[in-house]
Structure 1
Amino acid sequence: MIDLSYDFIVTLQNEVLRRFGVNQLIPGHCKPLSEAILEVTGKLISETTLKRFFGFAIAQHSFSRFTLNVLAQYCQYKDWDDFQAHYYRRTASTDTSEHPASQEKWIEIRAKANAVSHYTLLTLKNRSGIPFLSTVPRQYCLSHTERFLESDCVASVFIAPSGWGKSLALVHTAEHFWLGKDALYKKDICWFIHAHAAGNLLLKGFSLASWLDNQLHLNQGETFRDYFEQYFGEKGGRLILIIDGFDEIALGADKLKLLYTKLEDFVYANGLHRWLKVILSIRSSTWGEVFQQAQQYPAFRRYWYLGQEMDEECNINIPQLTEQDVKTVLYNCKFEPATVRTFSDGFLQKLKHPYYLQLFCQLNDSPEQTFIDENLSLFEITSRFIQNRVFNSSSNSFKIQIIYKLLDLLDMGRNGQYADKSVLLNKNAELFPAYKELIADNILVEENLSQEIMFHVKVRFAHNFLLEYFTAMHFILENNMQISEEMLQKVVNYFPQSPFRIAVFKWLLRYAITQQNVVAIQQIFVLPLMVVEKANLLEYLVLHYQHEDNKHTMLKNIFPPEYFRKHPISSFISDDFVHFKKRKVLNSLMGLAEASDDKLKIKSNLFVMALIQLDAEQCEIELNNIKKICSAEPTMSEQWITPYEAFLFIYEYLKFGIRNKEIEDKVYSYARKWSFAAGKPFTVPDEIVYRAMCYIFLILGDDAQMLHFTQRLFQHYPSILFSKTDPFRLMMLCWKAQAHLNTGNLDAAKRISSHVEKILKQYYSADFFNAKLVDILHKIIYAEICFQEKDYSKAIRISEMAMDSAQRLDFKLFSLKNFATLHKIYQQLEMEKQKRDALQKVEIIREGTTFKQAVVYLVGIA
């Protein structure tokens, strides 16, 4: 542990760096530096000692005189005393020449404090998982500190779980207010130390007051209180004491309680002094075990400032990173803004946890590493997190025992998310240390629901994806680390269709991939899963192999010739794949497709994607591909209208304003030409045509025909009604709701809209991008319903949400459709500025597409 009396540690570090010839040291430099020191001095300082000296690891003990002497000799001084004497004389000379004698003591004290504080800053910066220059100050922490400084409280704390970024938040805070180049309060003296340093002193018998007296070298009988009281009255300078790292696990419970007791005595003894402020960083688990007990005293709240965001149940008073914080860090880590804009809300939400953001940046920290798809990244982040916090722990067996007991109590999530702490631990004392680590490391979370008459603490996994991971691992362990058909079927039967079941199967699929178990992968894809589940699994598989050099060969090995004839790709992909992030996946699947239906389904999705993005040139490319597929398949000519003809009508109408009369007649003759057979499912070409016809009625503005068409569709294909999560069914329901709305049947539209909203909330998750197309269309329709019911505030909120989603996903066609509703709302509410801004966005879309007629037909602006 560093001796706080060493005032020139940072100066010695800088001298060593200058002598070594580098401006900034990295861990990789420590070995050659050790060799350079040996060559100059003939004495060996180990690589490990140098890492501690330069702050790449916590120094648990004082630097030996031998270490300091050798480093001083490397810098061409006689020894450490000679080094200190040289710089003390130079500093003293400068200070006395620039400052009056009355300030010499203050300058000397500040120099001591700065030396210690800068060493602490350097240590914490070097230990940052993300390069410190890429991190950002958290505005909430700065505001929290500002409010604390303005209050009458003596002490404040940053309380959060491990990995929350508390230490870096303190570094940014200390630099912002006291230790930075442009610090706000340069008159203050700031001592920034680690809890290990403070603990070592206090455990030797020092009190904080006696330590400060010792550091100040005051006149006999004078105390630090006398000195600061006088100086604060004359100059306004305060004493700021920052202590980082109150960690029960690292320090030990007994030591920490003693340290807290002495700290508490110090705070209460100096509670009336306006010149003293103490700031700590504390893990939530430590706060709950040690500090929170003090809240029973009435004085606690008078002396301690906990902030506006204090969550008493979870013991957290620092919110996670903001979305802008996350994006700034990603930009600083050289992520392209265009890439960051593609991140989903769900993924950005997870990156708000500083430790997950750190792991994600580390996944992409090498020049040759391209961006890892967020769907894959989430699983890699989770895997690394669990590896670091559970499996690499010395108490891993106890941790795993606790985790699987919790899984048992939760019945793998079927009994909810919470279990009683008393039942989980069952008075098993040998589990307590491992349990405390799981809480401290944010694997598990306690929520204190205790009341005056009963003690009641619930435990849950900190994040749902941890529950998903351990659930999948439970089934693998139960099956002797193997994936079998019987085990997979058990998982299917154990859980209902849900995003949770999809995630569990993704972990099983990932395990099969890492084990190179081709048979297991094939077995997963023939399970009786819903289309949306198979789509997500297939996407994950393709994305995984897209990051491999021989990706196509690997996929061919998994899906050999004829495989997709037995298990058509068209049964896996749906409207969920109409998303710009899916284009690479669809193109990879095209290389595996053998049946014409599969090729047609893939190319049709790519056409619809280009259509919604109003990319006329890409639409033309995909249209030509669809024409070739239709021409090569004789059965296509037997249809009353082919997918090529339906898409051709849309393309010509939006591009040139031409209504192909022959194709239009075919479209409107569906009622006569449809050949329905009771119970017969429609084919892939049928589904493509039906989807295309809805877009035709949309751009033609024919709501009556849209209503009639969707009614007939559900009437003659009743099986669709039973596939309630099928994106095709949900899309058709949305078109039907819109047709009802525009033909005056508000109640029917509202009823269908409520049903779709219920399905989206119950079955779809932001983690997997599911039903984005349906979700945006539903919001557009729902906003129009609210408008017709004269609930304008809700209508504008929903419509603007739809516009934001459509713009981020580049769904220009839906942006234009939504503008028609938004324009009416702005006009009704006389919001002229917003209306002008929206018109500018429409103009940008018009200028960015050669589908010039789209604005005319969808918005009504020539």
Structure 2
Amino acid sequence: MIDLSYDYIITLQQEVLRKFGVDHIQPNQCKHLAQSILKLTGKLVSETTLKRVFGLAVTQHSFSRYTLNTLAQYCRFRDWEDFQEHHQQRNTRLRPTDHSKWGDIKKKAAAVSHYTMLTLKNRSGIPFPQTAPRQYCLSHIERFLESDYAATVLIAPAGWGKSIALVHAAEHNWFGRNALHPEDICWFINAHAAGSLLLKGFSLSTWLDNQLSLGNGENFREYFSAHPDQKGGRLVLIIDGFDEITMGADKLKILYNKLEDFVYSNDLHPWVKVILSIRSSTWAEMFQQSLQYPAFRKYWYLGPEMDEDTNTNIPLLSEREVKDVLQSFDFAPSAIRSFSDSFLQKLRHPYYLQLFCQFNHSTGQSFVDENLSLVEIISRFIQHRVFNSSTNTFKIRIIEKMLQLLDMGKNGLRTDKSALLKQNPELFPAYKELIADNILVEENYSQEIMFNVKVRFAHNFLLEYFTAMHFIEKHGETITEAMLRDVMEYFQQSRFRMSVVKWMLRFAIMHEQIESIQRIFTLPLATIEKAHLLEYLVLHYQQSGKQEQLQQIFPHGYFRKRPISTFINDDFIHFKKQKLLNTLLGLAESTEDKLKIRSNLFTMAMMRLDAEQSEIELTGIKKLCAGNETLKEMWITPYDAFFFIYEYLKFGAINEEMRDKIYHYARHWSIPAKKNFSVGDETVYRAICFAFLLMGDHQQMIGFSERLFSEHPSILFNRTDPFRLMLLCWKAQAHLGVNDMASAKRICAHIERVLRHYSTDFFNGRHLEALQKIIAAEIWYREKEFNKAIRAAESAMDIVQRLEFKIFALLNYGVLNRIYQHLQMDKQKNDAKRNIIIICEGTSFKQVIPRLVQL
């Protein structure tokens, strides 16, 4: 065990580092430090020992006198005693010494606590200065300290950030520059130290008596109760890492019994407090049985967030804490704003946030695509917690049994614990590790007369991953046609299948199975599924710097048989897709594919009011139209339609000839019934809708959309087609423009239902959601439901600011401004006007402002 009487360990560490010439030491530097020590002293201190000395590895025994003497000699002292004597005299000269009994124990406690804290900081997955204090944990401990409870505990699975939260709490309350309770004694130790002591027969009270050096059978609690004038404050004992994985279940029970005796014996000494950190699995095994006793509830504070089903009382990181950590890693505010809500929700898990930051730090990048990163985070998480474990064989058996009981998710997401472990006692240790490491989660539905514990994967993506690996292993670790056929038959019309296929695609990429990748893209998947897989594939090779391999996967002629325009849709209208679209532009062979991509790029530039980028895309579209006979023969070419909008936005000019063609579309528009329109047709129809809306001709917009739906019923009945939903949004806007509230409200409600029900199908195309909320805000405003209107408009503003779609921002500011004016919210109204001015000054598309912003 660690010798807790070494008051100068921290000082020795600092002196060694100063001599070595660094402020902080990393694990890979310990080897070089060992060579430096050998060269200067002629004595060898191993790299492993140095890691233990500096808290970079767990220490379960005392540092040998040889190690301490050698390190002291490295710092030019005779030995360890000479080192301590020198610094004791120095400290005496520099500051007055508190010779009281309270002062003595406080000094010892500080030395031990600083060492424990330094160890935990050095072992943090994220450099400690870049971690965020957990506000909930700080508040939890503050409430506990001010209460009459004797003990509290932070309960959560592994990787939840409990230890780092305790370090922040210790600095906040006792050791920081502006500590809240500097008069208290805080004794912060690792469970290894306490456990080693207690298992040798010590009790916590006896140990503290020994640290006080009271002797003569005196008890420290009785002493300070009898001499309250000598007591400076509270005595807080923090024990971190109180879990069975590191100590063993049998030893843990002994330790728990001794801890319980100590806590309950503090009834007459409320100034003695105990704080633990513990894994959820250990709590379920050791502590939960005590909850039924009144004494436990009387002495232990569990906090308002305690979840009895999952045995967790610490919430995930808040969104603000996640953003603080990302900012500390030099993520630009614009990059952080661009993260989707679903991705931020996953980063609230501290271990996933740690892995994401490590990816970026190691590659030296300030931004990594969130979809790509999420896959790597999950893969790394499973690698660490399952495959790198000494019990990995047993863990895989349990996971396979889970998949069998769940029927790959067809039988639901939960199964009975008894069925999972039935007649397999040898699996129980591995099962407890899976629970402790947050691979599996137990949910207790037991009642007084019935034991009922359910088990599920901690996250659905774990089920998806292991399902994919099940099929891959079953088919000899090669993505064959038979395997893909098996998957498609097993998951018919299931959204789950796309995630499973995505893991298979990653497997094929990582194992350089080119033919397997090609097979995946021949599957009869929906357009949205193909688009997502294609996006992941391209992003992976862009990130790895092997973009040329795309030419092997998609050789010349590939996209002539399988046009890119069948892979991508309006979901790609997102600024983060710009690089992807440009890559696809280099792979595209047909004019239609190139036009589809250019059309999306122009639409994005226009929505962002980026006149210069719009001109670049227009030039490309003009070349495509000039070189293709089919496009040249259209009654309005895509270039003419987009150029009409561009001139109107920039100069306010209207090409009368083109205006006449647009307004008399019926004269030129002869469409055979149920004909599937081309990419050129879709581009022109989109541009006509934009033109009607920008010019404020709502009645024409209504008539055009109705005629389009009539001629192409396939659009109307394809519920999840983003182009259809965009048309419906524009139609709802037009109905508002002619004061047809009933029609606008009906269409808006339909769009909301579709977006909510098929939310997983719209990966990044949140411009549809933003536009629907803007329309809803206008409807609520007109119906005088001002609170609902503000919530909808402000939610929309959050989305459009991330997307940087300034056209939508202007529409939304117009709605917000009228709401603020009606409610006399002058500050918010002035802020809205200021933001409108900023947008105006940042674009040369001046003519759009008065039309969109109805102040």
When normalised by structure 1's length, the TM-score is: 0.96
Question: Quick one: which of 542, 548, 551 aligns to 2:544?
Answer: 548
Distance, in Å, in 2 between the alignment partners of 1:21 and 1:523 is 57
Q: How far off its partner does 1:16 sit?
A: 2.1
What residue identity is the alignment partner of 1:8? Y
What's the counterpart of residue 756 of structure 1? 751
Q: Does 1:442 align with 2:438?
A: yes
What's the counterpart of residue 685 of structure 2? 690
SS in 2 for 1:850: coil
What's the counterpart of residue 306 of structure 1? 302
Question: Quick one: which of 570, 579, 584 aligns to 2:579?
Answer: 584
Q: How far off its partner does 1:163 sit?
A: 0.2
Distance, in Å, in 1 between the alignment partners of 2:155 and 2:112 is 24
Contact 2:102 2:231 (C-alpha < 8 Å) held by counterparts:
no
What's the counterpart of residue 725 of structure 1? 720
Distance, in Å, in 2 between the alignment partners of 1:362 and 1:803 is 31
Question: Quick one: which of 457, 460, 465 aligns to 2:461?
Answer: 465
Q: How far off its partner does 1:691 sit?
A: 1.2
Q: How far off its partner does 1:490 sit?
A: 3.0
What residue identity is the alignment partner of 1:172? H
Q: Does 1:411 align with 2:407?
A: yes
What's the counterpart of residue 647 of structure 2? 652
After superposition, the Cα gap between the structure-2 partners of 1:232 and 1:189, relative to the gap in structure 1 and judged at 3 Å, is: farther
What's the counterpart of residue 10 of structure 1? 10
Q: How far off its partner does 1:191 sit?
A: 0.7
Distance, in Å, in 2 between the alignment partners of 1:499 and 1:658 is 47
What residue identity is the alignment partner of 2:729? C
What's the counterpart of residue 296 of structure 1? 292
Contact 1:764 1:770 (C-alpha < 8 Å) held by counterparts:
no
Question: Quick one: which of 231, 250, 263 aligns to 1:254?
Answer: 250
What's the counterpart of residue 791 of structure 2? 797
Contact 1:796 1:825 (C-alpha < 8 Å) held by counterparts:
yes
What's the counterpart of residue 270 of structure 1? 266
Q: Does 1:664 align with 2:680?
A: no
What residue identity is the alignment partner of 2:66? F
Q: How far off its partner does 1:679 sit?
A: 2.5
Q: How far off its partner does 1:508 sit?
A: 1.3
Distance, in Å, in 1 between the alignment partners of 2:228 and 2:452 is 47
Once the two structures are superposed, the pairs formed by residues 685-834 of structure 1 within 5 Å of their partners are 685-765=680-760, 769-834=763-828
When normalised by structure 2's length, the TM-score is: 0.97
Q: Does 1:34 align with 2:29?
A: no
Q: How far off its partner does 1:177 sit?
A: 0.8
Q: Does 1:520 align with 2:516?
A: yes
Contact 1:193 1:242 (C-alpha < 8 Å) held by counterparts:
yes
SS in 1 for 2:617: helix
Which segment drifts farther, 232-241 or 773-782?
Answer: 232-241
Distance, in Å, in 1 between the alignment partners of 2:787 and 2:495 is 32
Distance, in Å, in 1 between the alignment partners of 2:233 and 2:473 is 62
Contact 2:158 2:279 (C-alpha < 8 Å) held by counterparts:
yes
Distance, in Å, in 2 between the alignment partners of 1:219 and 1:89 is 26
Which digits, 9 at most, give the CA deviation of each residue in 1:517-569, with x for residues without a partner? 11111122222111111111111111111123341x21111111111111111
Which digits, 9 at most, give the CA deviation of each residue in 1:759-813, with x for residues without a partner? 22222239x7333121111111222233333322112111110111111210111
Which digits, 9 at most, give the CA deviation of each residue in 1:353-390, with x for residues without a partner? 11011111111223645632211110111100000000
After superposition, the Cα gap between the structure-2 partners of 1:783 and 1:411, relative to the gap in structure 1 and judged at 3 Å, is: farther
Q: Does 1:211 align with 2:197?
A: no
What's the counterpart of residue 238 of structure 1? 234
What residue identity is the alignment partner of 2:836? V
Distance, in Å, in 2 between the alignment partners of 1:756 and 1:498 is 22
After superposition, the Cα gap between the structure-2 partners of 1:20 and 1:232, relative to the gap in structure 1 and judged at 3 Å, is: farther
What residue identity is the alignment partner of 1:798? A
What residue identity is the alignment partner of 2:186? C
Distance, in Å, in 1 between the alignment partners of 2:236 and 2:227 is 14
Which segment drifts farther, 217-226 or 184-193?
Answer: 217-226
What residue identity is the alignment partner of 1:246? F
Distance, in Å, in 1 between the alignment partners of 2:852 and 2:230 is 72
SS in 2 for 1:246: coil
Which digits, 9 at most, give the CA deviation of each residue in 1:230-268, with x for residues without a partner? 555455422110000011111111111111111111011
SS in 2 for 1:299: helix
Q: Does 1:631 align with 2:629?
A: no
What's the counterpart of residue 566 of structure 2? 571
What residue identity is the alignment partner of 1:850? S
Which digits, 9 at most, give the CA deviation of each residue in 1:173-194, with x for residues without a partner? 1011112233221111111000
Q: Does 1:319 align with 2:315?
A: yes
SS in 2 for 1:190: strand
Distance, in Å, in 2 between the alignment partners of 1:492 and 1:859 is 49
Which digits, 9 at most, give the CA deviation of each residue in 1:684-728, with x for residues without a partner? 100111111111111111221111111111111112234221111
What's the counterpart of residue 22 of structure 1? 22
Distance, in Å, in 2 between the alignment partners of 1:666 and 1:116 is 83
Q: How far off its partner does 1:401 sit?
A: 1.4
What residue identity is the alignment partner of 1:35? Q
SS in 1 for 2:584: helix
Structure 2: tracts of 5 or more residues without a match: none
Distance, in Å, in 1 between the alignment partners of 2:626 and 2:308 is 68
Which segment drifts farther, 173-182 or 671-680?
Answer: 671-680
Distance, in Å, in 1 between the alignment partners of 2:228 and 2:164 is 29
What's the counterpart of residue 375 of structure 1? 371
Q: Does 1:163 align with 2:159?
A: yes
Q: How far off its partner does 1:45 sit?
A: 1.4
What residue identity is the alignment partner of 2:397? Q
Q: Does 1:117 align with 2:113?
A: yes
Q: How far off its partner does 1:88 sit?
A: 4.1
Once the two structures are superposed, the pairs formed by residues 73-88 of structure 1 within 5 Å of their partners are 73-88=73-88
After superposition, the Cα gap between the structure-2 partners of 1:495 and 1:738, relative to the gap in structure 1 and judged at 3 Å, is: farther
What residue identity is the alignment partner of 1:71? L
Q: How far off its partner does 1:499 sit?
A: 5.0
Which segment drifts farther, 430-439 or 771-780?
Answer: 771-780
Q: How far off its partner does 1:340 sit?
A: 2.2
What residue identity is the alignment partner of 2:833? L
What's the counterpart of residue 348 of structure 1? 344
After superposition, the Cα gap between the structure-2 partners of 1:800 and 1:338, relative to the gap in structure 1 and judged at 3 Å, is: closer
Structure 1: tracts of 5 or more residues without a match: none
Q: Does 1:837 align with 2:811?
A: no
Distance, in Å, in 2 between the alignment partners of 1:450 and 1:679 is 58
What residue identity is the alignment partner of 2:782? Q
Distance, in Å, in 2 between the alignment partners of 1:33 and 1:22 is 10
Distance, in Å, in 2 between the alignment partners of 1:668 and 1:708 is 11
Identity %: 64
Which digits, 9 at most, give the CA deviation of each residue in 1:105-143, with x for residues without a partner? 332222211111111011101100111111121111111
What's the counterpart of residue 401 of structure 1? 397
Distance, in Å, in 1 between the alignment partners of 2:787 and 2:600 is 36
Q: How far off its partner does 1:496 sit?
A: 4.9
SS in 2 for 1:364: helix
Contact 2:330 2:366 (C-alpha < 8 Å) held by counterparts:
no
Q: How far off its partner does 1:750 sit?
A: 3.0
Q: How far off its partner does 1:61 sit?
A: 1.7
Contact 2:174 2:182 (C-alpha < 8 Å) held by counterparts:
yes
What residue identity is the alignment partner of 1:310? M
Which segment drifts farther, 597-606 or 752-761?
Answer: 752-761
